[in-house]
Structure 1
Amino acid sequence: MRCELPYARSGQVIGLLGGSFDPAHEGHVHITKMALKRFNLDRVWWLVSPGNPLKAQGPAEMGKRMARARQVMDHPRVEVTDIEARTGTRYTAATLQAIRKLYPDVHFVWLMGADNLAQFHLWQDWRSIMETTPVGVIARPGTRGAARNSMAAQSFAHAKLPSRASRLLGRCEPPCWCFINVPMSDASSTEIRAQGGWTRD
């Protein structure tokens, strides 16, 4: 299995952007490029999930989503991977634990849009994620207020890194998280599907 996993050098800081990517779109590309710059990341891995446990309907077939993701995210420092399927993990906390075992000398940052922070307390073992992995939060349209007032933000207010120090996030000892405001893209997988631009068949 190891030969098919992404390569990482010891000491690198790698951002992890998880999701169903159903489909991947310009919004994902935008926040990835912003994260690379603002969090001073060496690389970003897109973790294309087998399925989102919080969503009742399953996503399109994995191969189709992977192909689309690689088509829209053409960047030398970004890798699209099915590592979650390969590790057999379905929940983020378990995925992060598996990745840290595979790459013990690499620094990882979990990346998420502010919309995910707003409902982060619904994720399995969300406190464990915050306590073991630096988290980079990128503003999304209409979600700033809900994210900043979320249970996760309030519970870990003491561990918040000022946005002006965002480049230090990957070297911080967790718990440590940082919220950055960036120029926004309102692209949405849900809207793309609703407009007929992507089918799950």
Structure 2
Amino acid sequence: MSTTIGLLFGSFNPVHIGHLVLANYLAEYAGLDEVWFVLTPQNPFKEKGDLLDEAHRLELLKLALQEEQRFKASDFEFMLPRPSFTIDTLDKLHATFPQHDFRLIMGADNLLAIEKWKEPERLLKQYRLLIYPRPGYSLEAQPQTKGLQVVDAPLLDLSATLIREGLRMGKNLRYLLPHGVYDLIAARGWYK
């Protein structure tokens, strides 16, 4: 019997409660056995600019997920060529773990811009996607394709950019970050 794994890709710069709320919702309501948080060392659509070192982001991610057995911090993309392309990672994950049924977790904003991704037609045809709503992005005009499931996850307009900016300004954002993450960031002086 295969395990159904939701793959939540991201820079997690830093991981925040919005990521955990989404993963929790999908684990409970979308039939996922586990959610793997796949840490992307370098997103091809983002500048490296204020990207915290990948080892530090992985440390924060592991800290954030340590109390939930269904959530796994994955450094799988650390071993792949950079920048990371989702289709390549999915192919490699599928080859490495053929016993798992992978579902790509994607925000409506990314689905509406999927034509900019590497091999979008093959991605949509070959892999199953769980699409969650994002503020300001409507999926009404999006054609439904086999393997694409829209989930009515809670809308949280929270971003890592907002958190980084707040931390730079010296704001106490303890309750926007998973338990222990704020304290580690503060202790190490990250994002200042």
Q: Is the 8 A contact 2:22 2:154 kept in 1?
A: no
**Structure 2 length normalisation: TM-score?**
0.80
Unaligned runs of 5+ in 2: 169-184
Q: Residues of 2 paired with 1:122 and 1:47: CA distance?
A: 20
2:170 is the alignment partner of 1:177: no
Matching of residues 58-77 of structure 1 within 5 Å: 58=49, 59-73=51-65, 74-77=67-70
Selected match of 1:47 from 38, 43, 54: 38
Deviation at 1:196, TM superposition (A): 2.4
* Matches of 1:38 and 1:193, distance apart in 2: 30
Taking only the aligned residue pairs, the percentage that are identical comes to 27
In the alignment, structure 1 residue 120 sits paired with structure 2 residue 111 = no
RMSD value, Cα: 1.9
Q: 1:82 aligns with which of 72, 75, 99?
A: 75
For these two proteins, the number of residue pairs brought into alignment is 169
Kindly state the Cα deviation for residue 200 of structure 1 after the two structures are TM-superposed: 5.0
- Indicate how the Cα distance of structure 1 residues 103 and 187 shifts in structure 2: closer, same or farther if over 3 A, else same: same
3-state SS of paired residue (1:140) = coil
Partners of 1:25 and 1:31 lie apart in 2 by 10
Query: What is the 5 A alignment of 1:1-201?
Result: 11-58=2-49, 59-73=51-65, 74-88=67-81, 90-143=84-137, 145=138, 147-149=139-141, 153-154=142-143, 157=144, 159=145, 175-196=146-167, 199=190
Q: Provide, for residues 98-120 of structure 1, a one-character-per-residue CA deviation record: whole Å limited to 9, x for no partner.
A: 01100112110000122222222
Residues 24-58 of structure 1 deviation map (CA, whole Å, 9 limit, x = unaligned): 10110011011112211111100000111011235
User: Residue 18 of structure 1 contacts residue 49 of structure 1 at CA under 8 Å; is this kept in 2?
Assistant: yes
Residue identity in the other structure for 1:34: Y
Give the unaligned 5+ runs of structure 1. 1-9, 160-174
- Name whichever of 21-30 and 50-59 sits farther off: 50-59
TM-score, normalisation: structure 1:
0.77
CA–CA distance in structure 1, aligned partners of residues 61 and 117 of structure 2? 24
- Report the AA paired with residue 66 of structure 1: L
CA distance in structure 1 between the partners assigned to 2:114 and 2:165 by the alignment: 25
